[in-house]
Structures are given as C-alpha cells and as structure tokens.
Structure 1
C-alpha cells in the first residue's frame, strides 16, 4: 500500500490478471476443441468461464473496497476515466467493422454480382446463375441462403427503439438525482433503466425465435442473415452487459455508496449505456429500416 503522501495509489501485488489470462486460455481452448467435435470442449469452456467470472468478481470487489476507502486520489480517478474512454473508443471500432461490412456488401459487392461497375464479376454471375437479381436483402446467387423474409422495422424493433431511448432518459434522470444527492431519485432511475434494458433483451430474444421458427431468417440465411445476426446479436450482448453493470451499481447505491462528488463507477456505466443507445439507432436505421 502507498502512504497518504504518495501522489499515486500503488495497489498490492495483484493475482487477478494471472487468473483472467488462465480463464481465457482454458475457455478458448475448450471452444477450439468444441469446434472439432471433442466431447471435453464444453467442459473446458464452462470451466474457463467460471474462472473468468470469479476473477471479475474478486478483482472488481477489491477495486470497490479501495474506492470506498478513498484510497484513490484525483490522478487515479483521471486514469479511470481515460481508461473507460479508450475502452468505449475500442467498442466504437468494433461495431464500425461490422457496419463497414454491411455498407461494403450492400453498396459494392451485391451490385458487382449483378453486373454494375467495372469489376466484371457480373458476367460470370449471370453465366452461372442467370436468375440472380442484385437486390437487398439477398440470399446470394443460387439462393444458397434459402428462403426467408427480411425482418421488418415497425414491430419489435420499433418498440425496442422506444425502450432504449426511454432508458437513456431514465439513466440521465438518475444521474441528476445523484448530483443533487437525492438517493431516492438515483435508485429509482437505476431500477427503471435496468428494467427497460432487460425488457429489450427479452423482446430481442422473442424476435430471434420468430426469425428462426416463422420467417426462415437464420445466421445461415445468406449475407443478410449473417450481417443481421452479427450486428444485432453483438449489440444485444452489450445491452446485457450494460444492464448487469447498472445492476451492480444499483446494489452499491442501495448500500450507500456514491455521492455527488464520488461516483465514477456510475458514470462509467452511464457512458456505456448511452453508447449502446447510439449503436442501436444506427442498427435500426441501416439494418431494419433501409
């Protein structure tokens, strides 16, 4: 431990990074074994996941205790903020790659297959698959993706858009309550945001069930199915993580943690939540609507 006169808090020797690396190694090894049909793959995946969860619980718990004990000074708080900023920036690049894939396929690859542009690909497409029409959504030449219906925008997706936009307002309302040291408003805003977040996930799960069982839209339904489930699936995973993040913040708030001048954990969760809100707007416009 550092003394009070130190300018930067130096934690004790941390064992958690080693456990995290070990858990990831076991999980990925199990996943690789599962892909080649090994019966032990599933066991090692579960074992690795349990080690990762244990590492996260233990490591985050230590950070919480150190934060509550006010061992972190302004410089440490600043490093936490920059760390979260760069983490969200990396997430922006993560989704940018998938949005870029969707843009490339819709604006270049599919038109080229249909004979547009100077690529010359269309000549071979019409020679091999004369019935192919370069329209989006597509299941590819020879209809390799099977028959399916595209997912409409004005059903569950529109409702989920309303839910996430509302959750952005409730988490902001919670933030206002915290800044005024009104814990009741803070907690109520968190509860509302968490409920809306999990409602979004449940509705998306129903949407996936509908897609697979009723309209033939699966991950293997051509490039449309692949991009649809990759983009919406990863976003749904991020909403789930964000809702869990806010749930931990809520439990801490109910124990009296946080005040108007000491609440970075909540701010980090709120930043992350606003990020998933913005990503969803892009998904609704470019995946569902157009």
Structure 2
C-alpha cells in the first residue's frame, strides 16, 4: 500500500450481526427482569451472538493488519476511535454515578423533609427516616444488609489493581521484545481478571441468598447492582479482549514498534480499573 493511501475496508456483515445480537440481548434482559419465560433464552442467544460478532470481527481486523493493509493514517484513526469509545464509556458510567449521587444527596434527604422536600415528607412520608442505605419510604424489597467494603470488595480491588500492574509489565516486555515475559504477564492479567469475576459472582450469590440485597431492594439495591453489574460486564468484555491479545502475542503478531491492538485493550482495562476504584469508594465504603 502507498504511504499516503488510506485503506477503505470492504463491506462486512459484522455491524449487522452485532446490532441484531444487542437487540436480542436487550429484549431478553428486559423480558427476564420482568419474569418473562423467554427472557433467559433470548438473553443467552443475544449474548452468544455478540460474542460471535466480537471474535469474527476481531479475526477480520487481525487478518487485515497482518496482511499489511494498515498504515500510519489508519493507525491514527484507530487511536482516535478508541479514545472516543472510552469517552463514551466514561459518560455511560457517569450517568449511573450521577443517579447514585442524586438519590443519595438530594432525593432521599428531600423525602426525609430536608430543604425543598419538607412538604413531601409532611404529607406523603411523615414517618420516613432518611438514612443511607435505604430501600425507600415504601420499604421496597424488604429488609436487607449491605456488603462491607473492607472484605471481599477490598480483596477484589487489590486483585484488579494488581492486574493493571501485570498488564503494564506485559506492555513493558513487549516494547523490550521479551516474548516469554510478555506471555507470562498477559496470562497473569487474564487469570486475575477471571478471579475478580469469580469473586464478584460469589458476592452476588451471597447478597441474594443471605443478605436480602437484590435489584428490588429499593434505590440502594437498584443502583448497587446497576453499577457493579455493568462494571462486571465491562470486565468480561475486557477479559475477552485480553484473551484475544494473549493469543495474538503467542502467535507473534505484535512488534515493539507496532502494537496498537495491545494498547487499545490495555487502555480499556485501565479504564475498567479506574471505574472500579470509584465504585469501591462511593458504593462500598462511603
């Protein structure tokens, strides 16, 4: 390819496959949460379609990259695209953090009679004690207990932060062309990510079975599971990306001068780390 040329990808089925998968996934999720009998099946079908799309699209881009079809202009567009993608993810989580802060700092105090909510408290919820965590004046979902921050969540925080360190060491090894060290640290990063997900899964089971903490436990339960659940989904996506990158490293696809695929996955994983720090502080500790 000429240096000044820009590679224009051929038509591909993957955006359509991904859109159909996400549509089925969303319908299945909503159906499942509302007790519909087809919800779990649609949820699984949509998830499987998305995973199929991810692996298929990854493979196509890898073939094009290894075929020498990308130049510096394409590399810059990839970087810009990844930056905007992560920015959109920042806004996604900002919306949920905003809902948490609004409920905790404004809505709950108003229901308790503070400030502009005095009339609301007097006529609607005169007996409501505005304390956090809360399941609201109607005590939705019944009594529940919260998960202490300095237990499993702290362990998971240390695990995820350690995975960020091992990923950085892998990046350093790649830039030094130390293939054995690269693979070791990449495998370590993937293992730590899977351990994180396992512990979070256990935490969810414990919350539902032993603590009475569910999605139906008022505003605290809904914000807790929406924030930690979507973060867990992002960890799953990041782990899939890292597995693909590890396989590519083992195949010798990256060089110390040309490895944006690795960097993109690393950016995403570090973003996941930062989001979890915010979750740990504002959901579990404060």
TM-score under structure 2 length normalisation: 0.92
Deviation at 1:113?
0.8
Name which of structure 1's ranges 253-262 and 126-135 shifts more when overlaid on structure 2: 126-135
2:210 equivalent in structure 1? 214
1:104 equivalent in structure 2? 102
Unmatched runs of 5 consecutive residues or more in structure 1: none
**Paired residues, number:** 286
Q: Secondary structure at the match of 1:71?
A: coil
What does the per-residue CA deviation read over 1:176-223, in whole Å, with 9 as the maximum and x for residues that have no partner? 000000011111111111111111110011111111111111111110
Conserved 8 A contact 2:109-2:130:
yes
> Structure 1 residues 26 and 155 mapped into 2: Cα distance closer, same or farther (>3 Å)?
closer
CA distance in 2, matches of 1:102, 1:271: 26
> Structure 1 residues 256 and 149 mapped into 2: Cα distance closer, same or farther (>3 Å)?
same
Deviation at 1:13?
2.6
Q: Secondary structure at the match of 2:69?
A: coil
1:187 equivalent in structure 2? 183
RMSD of the TM alignment (CA)?
2.1
1:84 equivalent in structure 2? 82
Query: Which of 9, 16, 19 is residue 17 of structure 2 equivalent to?
Result: 19
CA distance in 2, matches of 1:273, 1:21: 24
1:199 equivalent in structure 2? 195
Unmatched runs of 5 consecutive residues or more in structure 2: none
Q: Secondary structure at the match of 1:141?
A: coil
Q: Secondary structure at the match of 1:272?
A: helix
CA distance in 1, matches of 2:8, 2:266: 27
Deviation at 1:68?
1.0
1:258 equivalent in structure 2? 254
Higher Rg of the two aligned structures: 1
Query: Which of 67, 70, 73 is residue 71 of structure 2 equivalent to?
Result: 73
Give the ranges of 4+ consecutive aligned residues of structure 1 lying more than 6 Å apart after TM superposition.
32-38
Deviation at 1:132?
1.1
> Structure 1 residues 217 and 22 mapped into 2: Cα distance closer, same or farther (>3 Å)?
closer
Name which of structure 1's ranges 23-32 and 194-203 shifts more when overlaid on structure 2: 23-32
CA distance in 1, matches of 2:211, 2:22: 37
TM-score under structure 1 length normalisation: 0.91
CA distance in 1, matches of 2:223, 2:149: 16
1:170 equivalent in structure 2? 166
Q: Secondary structure at the match of 2:50?
A: helix
